[in-house]
Amino acid sequence: MIKNNQRTLGASGLVVPAMGVGIASWGEKQLGYGRMYTRDDVTQAYRACLDAGLNFFDTAEMYGQGESERLLGECRRQDGRPILNATKFSTSSIVTPSFTRSSPRALLHALDGSLQRLGVDCIDLYQLHVPPAPHKLDAYMDVLAEAVRAGKVRAVGLCNFNATLLRQAHARLAQHGIPLASTMVGYNLLRRYPETNGVLDACRELNVALLAFAPLAEGVLSGKYRTGTPIPGAYRMLWMIEKLDLFGETRGSVSTVRRWFSKHRPAQREKLEPLFVVLEEIARAHEKTIAQVALNWLMSGDADIIPIPGAKNVRQANENAGTLDWRLTKEEYDRINQTEIATR
């Protein structure tokens, strides 16, 4: 088991491993569940994660229409070892419109559903999956504070929030004496908007942990598509959705015309090759994989950044765990940054 490799989610007091486990693909048929990997695969991945000390699992009620939460709950009951769970509530928004969720009070009903599927009395980290209308944000924070006081939630987090809304949520929770534990955004070597749109700066200023989803750019940074292997259609669809920039992630750093009509960077194999050459050289020096170097880059840059890579089989679980027992040198970290800038 990996020891002394833990981080605290802001001022919440919730201590987690330096890396989480994303299980958005568990139970999700659109991402291959039941066809490319099975219930037995995720069970074995779960056990391998715990064997390695990775006991912080991130899911959401919408993943697999609740199946991801149910699978996590079943794995926990069958294995018996303690874990830390994080899940999310989907507000009514431009991304997830819902008449039944137009009221912040709907969160409490959804919370009970997640508790039941997970088979627990308290969720360690409960997050808003997408930002609600700004004028309703304070009311959502008030309801989350109510859930914390009721003992159903230990810590509160956000997902896909810009810096302005993050600050607003933090301030409202502070009125209840509750710290904002974390915010989750897409962050990897090919998607570095948090560094320029104010989110990372706000996290550092307010003592909020940054959970990085898609830390391997849907597998592109593992190098497996480097030689021309077709990129799955489901991931291409995700990239098309990203082009909408629904949450203002780019904050004007990329023009609308360029965003819509340029080829998505993860698919620009020839331009990414200089980066892969550097990642491969560093990987060989440490007897690691390209994916492990890309994940290590995230953890080496800031003590408050926690990557959340996926793990749907034993191989992926073990490869993720192999990221934690070493660190890039400053020279290697700088070299990666300089190479990545050249690929923009």
Q: Tell me the catalytic residues.
A: 63
Say which amino acid occupies 7. R
Structural contact between residues 228 and 255, judged by C-beta atoms closer than 8 angstroms: no
Task: Give buried/exposed letters for 104-141 (b at 16+ CB in 10 A, else e).
Answer: bebbeebbeebbebbebeebbbbbbbbbbeeebbbbbb
Q: Calculate Rg over the CA atoms of the chain.
A: 19
Do 304 and 209 meet the contact criterion of CB atoms below 8 Å apart?
Answer: yes
The Cα 137–Cα 126 span in angstroms is: 15
C-alpha span between 332 and 329 (Å, rounded): 5
Amino acid present at 334: D
What angle, rounded to 10 degrees, do the helices at 137-149 and 163-175 form? 40
| Encoded tokens for 174 | 């502070």
Residues 6+ apart with CB under 8 A from 54: 2, 17, 19, 20, 21, 311, 317, 320, 321
C-alpha distances in Å from residue 286, one per residue of 205, 289, 320, 332: 34, 9, 15, 11
Q: In 3D, which of 217, 250, 249 has the Cα closest to residue 236?
A: 217
Angle (CA) 43-48-52 rounded to 5° is: 150
301-334 burial code (b ≥16 CB/10 A, e <16): beebbbbbbbbbbbebbebbbbbbeeebeeebbe
